[in-house]
Structure 1
Amino acid sequence: MQELFDIGVDVAKANVVIAVQDHPELACELVNEPGALRRWLESVPPESRLAVESTGRYHGLLVHLAQQAGLRAYVLNAWDVSMYAKALGMRGKTDRTDSQVIARYIREHHARLHPYEPGSAAQQAIDQLIRQRARVQVKQQSLMRILQDLPALDPQRQAVAQSLQAVIHTMDAQILAWMHSEPALAEPFDRLQTIPGVGVQSAALLTSLLGRIGFTNADALVAFSGLDPRPKDSGQKKGRRRLSKRGAALIRRQMYMCACSASRTPAFKPVYQALRARGLSGIEAMVILARKLLRVAFALWRHQSVFDSERFRPKMT
């Protein structure tokens, strides 16, 4: 029987550094381009485990090619790997040692991890558009703040704002087109928009996420988003709960914006007011409301239903 490898890869824009657990002689460095990666993958036994840290877009090519070659690819949380390296007592940090740590991490922890699921072509396109749209919007807001104190440049500032807004509108149109390109996406996309506070962008994000990852329950979805409270207790001491922030920041940002909108609707305004009446700050109340919206979205997804204010009325406690 052919031995299966546990492979750790440190990915950069220009190159990748590879380590194979228990096989230091197989360590190598490759150019991060399709030809070199394909040739290397041909020498790797199928069903081997390959892990990379999440590096924005740089790891995408390797993960895609690895899955095509029959490997089980894992995209790891960089913070988890960093803490793991510290726990191992690593005395330095290089690309080579990073790849070795990743290889050891996937060997020891693969049983509780899920291989990366890229989703359909439509889901991949939607995910990319949503991420890039968020980045464009942030840059737009930053640029407008920079130029607002320069009255002499008002015409140029308005022209830039209009151009960037046109880009955002084009992205929105493309997201809608992709969403309606597949019935499996279009139907839940329309259902999720029946939730007060959930608009087109949020519904698209949730539809793609829920369609790509098979969450077992609503708690798993909340944990994935990083909106779950993290305990910090020791003995008799009960520490202050803080958000784990383990998932993608885009999800947390989008759900917080949904909560801001939902807090002004008849369905969720009483919930928000009740939370504030308990002495919670506005941000704390919004975070709790964002978690509730995620749970409602999961229920609509699982039961293939639309929002009903009576059925899904959140508890006040």
Structure 2
Amino acid sequence: MAMSVTPFEAGVDTAKDELVIQSAPDTKPFAIPNTPKAIRAWLKTLPSGSALAIEATSTYHMEMAEQAHAAGFTVYVVDGLRLSKYRESIALRAKTDAHDAALLARYLSKERSSLKAWTPPPAGHRKIQVLLRRRAKLVEIRGMLRMSWSGDKLFASELKRMEKAIKKAEMSLEKGLREVIKEAGLQDQLSRVQQLPGVGFLTAVGLVMSFMRGDFANSDAFVAYLGMDVTVAQSGKWSGKGRLSKRGDAEVRRLLYNASMSGSRTKTWKQFYAHHLGRGMKTTQAFVILARRLARLAFGLMRHQADWKPEVYTGGAKPVS
């Protein structure tokens, strides 16, 4: 591969074992192994000042992003939802690794001025994210097994054995999370967030991980980062139904939603939850509103390094006399 001296913009489609790269519109995409050695070798061929748009796929994009940033290149990490919307906007029907690499290169070329360059996360962030996502996969597998095998006497003993093994793995992952939290010096922040009624250890870990990722101007920015902000669709007199943007970490949103379900039964949030149901909200909508409230409060506690004071907070509803 001949070494260029002119900076260029490249799109990188990521998978567990392979990276497909489109380095210029008039060139063919090519693939390299998704290994530290192969990535290092390819980056050495890039001219100074080049920029990469890398698809965010679980954690498989992290090696390329970290090495490219360390080598002095500008890195843009593009989430799958944003890339999917962009594909639809230009009426591109094909979806292959090569097409995605070319799409990323085009997206970077056309939208670079509006994109925010990626920076490496703080110490501990990546480990926490990996452990949370591995646990989420275990939860998903357990749910699938229960749906498929529950009620089948033939597999009852096997299901019980597998659930026991999954539970053991979950406990190991939670132990790993506690160790990372301790190593990263995040125990105080974790304790603050866990003081919120309904928020348990895992949800608190997810919120702390999210908070440490960026310098958020306010709680609105934090909520938007979590993907729990509401999108607006309006044209003339027509107003569409608002939906969550879902641009953040899906596992953190799931944990936060579960925390709101648990919190709705607490003394602090029971009236808050009932109030929104009384306004005609569906249960899911009320849970989402409570989840956003928990996220905002968690942000405030972490930002100001303050403890939760339940005696001065009624959950947004009048206390029972």
TM-score, normalised relative to structure 2: 0.89
Partner residue of 1:50? 52
| C-alpha separation in 2, matches of 1:16 and 1:160 | 34
Which segment is superposed worse, 268-277 or 29-38? 29-38
Q: What is the number of residues matched between the two proteins?
A: 314
Aligned-pair CA distance for 1:168? 0.9
Letter in 2 for 1:303: H
Partner residue of 2:15? 12
Aligned-pair CA distance for 1:148? 2.2
Aligned-pair CA distance for 1:293? 0.7
Letter in 2 for 1:12: A
Letter in 2 for 1:78: G
Q: Is the CA contact 1:226–1:245 (under 8 Å) kept in the aligned structure 2?
A: yes
Q: Please list the CA deviations of residues 31-58 of structure 1 after superposition, one character each: whole Å capped at 9, or x if unmatched.
A: 3332222111012234532111222233
TM-aligned CA distance change 1:307 to 1:45, over 3 Å = farther
TM-score, normalised relative to structure 1: 0.90
Which segment is superposed worse, 276-285 or 87-96? 87-96
Which segment is superposed worse, 172-181 or 213-222? 213-222
Letter in 2 for 1:178: V
Partner residue of 1:291? 292
Partner residue of 2:179? 177
Q: Please list the CA deviations of residues 22-79 of structure 1 after superposition, one character each: whole Å capped at 9, or x if unmatched.
A: x635854323332222111012234532111222233222222212222222221223
Which segment is superposed worse, 228-237 or 43-52? 43-52
Q: Is the CA contact 2:29–2:102 (under 8 Å) kept in the aligned structure 1?
A: no
Letter in 2 for 1:307: W
TM-aligned CA distance change 1:199 to 1:38, over 3 Å = same
1:96 aligns to 2:95 (yes or no): no
| C-alpha separation in 2, matches of 1:91 and 1:153 | 43
Partner residue of 1:255? 256
Structure 1: 5+ residue runs without aligned partners? Answer: none
1:38 aligns to 2:40 (yes or no): yes
Structure 2: 5+ residue runs without aligned partners? Answer: none
Q: How does 1:57-96 map to 2 (within 5 A)?
A: 57-90=59-92, 92-96=94-98
| C-alpha separation in 1, matches of 2:155 and 2:58 | 34
| C-alpha separation in 1, matches of 2:161 and 2:29 | 52
| RMSD across aligned positions (CA) | 2.3
| C-alpha separation in 2, matches of 1:91 and 1:268 | 46
Quote the sequence identity (%): 32
| C-alpha separation in 1, matches of 2:240 and 2:55 | 30
Letter in 2 for 1:227: M
SS of residue matched to 2:267: coil
Partner residue of 2:201? 200
